A and B are shown apart, each in its own frame.
Chain A
Amino acid sequence: MQKSKIKKTELPKNPTTLLLGIPGPGLIGTIATTYIIQALKMELIGEIESSPAAIVFIDNGQIMGPVRIYKKDNTFAILSDIPIDYDNAIDFVESVIDFSKKNRIDLIIFTSGLHVPDRNISNLKTYGLVTRESLEKILYDNEIPKFLSGIISGPDATILTQLKNSPIPAIALHTECNYFFPDPDAAMQTIKTISHVIKTEIDLAEFKKQSEYLRLQNRQLMEETLNVMQTQREQPSTTPPQIYK
């Protein structure tokens, strides 16, 4: 009989936390992390570089890479403004884990979306997955239901696999969302959940005002993200064939 792979690690009382947001279903990770960075006035402290850079952003006359690192107090955030495709997902997570080791991160919080076509917008749920048994208390204390069964595919699957095998404890938060369109309602639910987990109040007034514009502004990124996720879906399935009994 195999032993459980979930390791027991106690977190410090005020853990140094890294929020990880990348484009995925409903752009939940990107929208939520971007807002948290703005709301908490986190400082840009660096970038995760890929060589050669395929794209750069110009903001206020400054050249900025697409994957950036922010910090405020004991909270870090890594935000990607480009979809992470399958070919780059492993390198990307390895960079995140390497950064986490160097900066003594106690907890990684990865945020994403879960496609639920008939979800109740006024009562969206965020589900939690943990890589350490001790983290289940965080789910319980913050009333986050555990993601019990289902399938996660695309870059999220690669990221979760790498996080599961890394020495840094991690929580994945998946919120019910519209898979195909930017979903600020689901992103707002994610922000509320993160706010509880990191015990930091995040004012959502500005987010509510921007909600419709977020859907407009993120059309291009959503389309590119879907293209990346679609490409991976079209690859041959790795699901083993069922055996008839």
Chain B
Amino acid sequence: MSDFGSIIEKQMNAFFGNTLFDDFIHKELVPLSHLKEKHASWTLEVDLPLVDKKNIEVILSDDHLTVKAKLTKTYCISRGSTVTEFDYFKKTIKLPSGINTKQISAIFKNGILRITMPKPTDGKKISIE
């Protein structure tokens, strides 16, 4: 993005908040998500209304997870006289460190994608004196 673009983005973020502005810049809706730490795992929940399970993609890279989902219907937002159309949700989330990436699992129920990321159970044993 150009310097001008980044200045405008900063100003717009300050005014509208991150979610709405990301939507309009990238023409992709940013879904709500919530990351929760449990004893043996992390759970990431992503709210995906108007989405079918078959249209969800979850992509794991080194330390990021990207969720992309196609909407069942085009969603339009009008501001003033401008109408913007959206067909996708997309969000990339930085993963917490120390996750067992081989055992990540996902389930989609009631429009909410729940991704469970187990913490590693192996490691160096520490002796107790």
Contacts and interface: CB of A to CB of B under 8 A. Distances in A.
Contact of A223 (B19, B110, B111): B19
Interface stretch (A98-106, A167-175, A197-205, A214-222): A214-222
A224 interface: yes
Interface in B37-93: 45, 47, 49-50, 75
A216 B19 contact: no
B34 to A, nearest CB: 4
A216 B47 CA distance: 9
B47 A181 contact: yes
A244 interface: no
Contacts of B17: 220, 223-224
Contacts of A220: 16-17, 19-20
A224 B20 CA distance: 11
Most chain B C-beta atoms within 10 Å of own C-beta, residue among A178, A212, A224: A212
Given A180-B45, A182-B32, A223-B18, 6 more contacts: A121-B110, A181-B32, A181-B45, A181-B112, A216-B75, A223-B17
Contacts of B50: 212-213, 216
Given A180-B34, A181-B47, A216 B110 contact: no
Contacts of B110: 121, 185
Looking at chain B's contact residues, the main secondary structure is: mixed
B19 A219 contact: yes
Contacts of B112: 178, 181
Q: Contact size class for B?
A: 10 to 19
Q: Contact size class for A?
A: 10 to 19
Closest 4 CB pairs of A and B: A215-B49, A181-B47, A180-B34, A212-B49
Interface of A: 121, 178, 180-182, 185, 212-213, 215-216, 219-220, 222-224
A67 B36 CA distance: 33
Given A181-B112, A222-B32, A215 B47 contact: yes
Looking at chain A's contact residues, the main secondary structure is: helix
8 contacts: A181-B34, A181-B47, A213-B49, A216-B49, A220-B16, A220-B19, A222-B32, A223-B19
Contacts of A185: 110
Contact of B32 (A121, A180, A212, A213): A180
B117 interface: no
A220 B50 CA distance: 17
Given A180-B45, A212-B50, A219 B111 contact: no
A215 B111 contact: yes
B19 A212 contact: no
Contacts of B30: 219
B77 to A, nearest CB: 9
Given A220-B17, A220-B19, A224-B17, A212 B31 contact: no
A220 B22 CA distance: 11
A169 B110 CA distance: 37
A224 B32 CA distance: 11
Most chain B C-beta atoms within 10 Å of own C-beta, residue among A182, A220, A223: A220
Nearest to B21: A220
Nearest to B75: A216
B59 to A, nearest CB: 22
A27 to B, nearest CB: 11
